[in-house]
Amino acid sequence: MQNKKFIIANWKMYFSYNQATAWLEKNKKELETCLQKNPITLIICPSFDALAPTAQALTKSTVALGAQDCSPHEEGAFTGQVCAQSLQELGCTYCIVGHNETQITWKKDHSLLLNKIDRLLEKGITPIICFGETEEEHTAHTTEKSITEQITTLCRFLQQKKPSKQILLAYEPQWAIGSGKIPTATELEITIKIVQNSMAQHSLLGSILYGGSVGIETLTILKNIPGLDGFLLGKASTDFQELKKVVSLIL
Ligand code: PGA
């Protein structure tokens, strides 16, 4: 396991092209200073349109570039999709897949999601694989069953692929995203154990992250959960002061 902690800044569609470039211009120096003091891996994931200028702004920076999604296909007649090859050419070293706000999640279509992971691995891009239970499953107390199914399918697939790099698994309960609610410490510990056990059974190395309403307030609880290697932030990552605080709090 790597010792370095991860923070993923998933900017979703909060910024337009101009707003994303202005944010970077204004904050990149201070961000770099903050990372020198707090040596974590920070991955900024802007929307597709802002990938090129973000890559440009992050030249010579230790901040990594990630995309928010990718096509499950290599090339061809797929209107509106972006292929892993383009992400690689743009300098992305990470890419989120299976996020609940995209069309393709574990619940909707396993095979499409696995194809996306495959396309990314072929290009040497580390997938940040989101998984988690739905609100209904959480209410019905079937979280463990749901997580076990998702993680077992994923680990079986990854075992065949033998990824050369560590993969990132982001536990994102659907009901916790943007809601201000987070799972209890016990709920988190159960999920982390399921993932750790399955990875060990399949001889896989990976880092386990948590995402869903992460901010300075919730971090006081979340940072003490053993087995978490980092966090995926949505809204909070767009506020530079909050992002800086989160980075300094997790070490
Ligand atoms: P949030 O989003 O931090 O705004 O809840 C998290 C996510 O969607 O990953």
CA of 235 to the centre of ligand 1 (A): 6
Q: Which candidate in 137, 172, 189, 242 is catalytic?
A: 172
pLDDT tens across 197-248, in order? 999 999 999 999 999 999 999 999 999 999 999 999 999 999 999 999 999 9
Residue 101 falls in the annotated catalytic set: no
What is the overall mean pLDDT for the chain?
95
| Sole residue written with tokens 């209107």 | 79
234 Cβ closer than 6 Å to some ligand 1 atom: yes
164 or 98, higher pLDDT: 98
213 Cβ closer than 6 Å to some ligand 1 atom: yes
Mean pLDDT of 24-40: 95
pTM: 0.96
Percent of the chain with pLDDT over 90: 92
Residue 197 is predicted with a pLDDT of: 97
pLDDT tens across 154-193, in order? 999 999 999 888 899 999 999 999 999 999 999 999 999 9
96 Cβ closer than 6 Å to some ligand 1 atom: no
Residue 227 is predicted with a pLDDT of: 96
Q: Whose Cα sits closest to atom 2 in ligand 1?
A: 234
Residue 1 is predicted with a pLDDT of: 42
CA of 66 to the centre of ligand 1 (A): 15
| Confidence band of 151 (pLDDT split at 50, 70, 90) | very high
DSSP 113-148: HHHHHHHHHHTTPEEEEEE---HHHHHTT-HHHHHH
Q: Which of 6, 8, 10, 209 to mutate to test the pocket of ligand 1 (most atoms within 8 A of CB)?
A: 10
pLDDT tens across 42-72, in order? 999 999 999 999 999 999 899 999 999 999 9
The amino acid that residue 18 corresponds to is N
SS (H, E, C) 172-231: CCHHHCCCCCCCCHHHHHHHHHHHHHHHHHCCCCEEEEEECCCCHHHHHHHCCCCCCCEE
**Quick one: tokens of 42?**
């920070």
212 Cβ closer than 6 Å to some ligand 1 atom: yes
Percent of the chain with pLDDT over 70: 97
CA 68 centroid distance within chain: 8
pLDDT at 2 over 60: no
| Sole residue written with tokens 């609100």 | 135
| Confidence band of 88 (pLDDT split at 50, 70, 90) | very high
Q: Which of 44, 235, 246 to mutate to test the pocket of ligand 1 (most atoms within 8 A of CB)?
A: 235
Q: Which atom of ligand 1 is nearest to the CA of 12?
A: 8
Residue 3 is predicted with a pLDDT of: 59
* Contact present, 20 and 54 (Cβ < 8 Å): yes
**Quick one: tokens of 170?**
């982001």
Residue 172 falls in the annotated catalytic set: yes
211 Cβ closer than 6 Å to some ligand 1 atom: yes
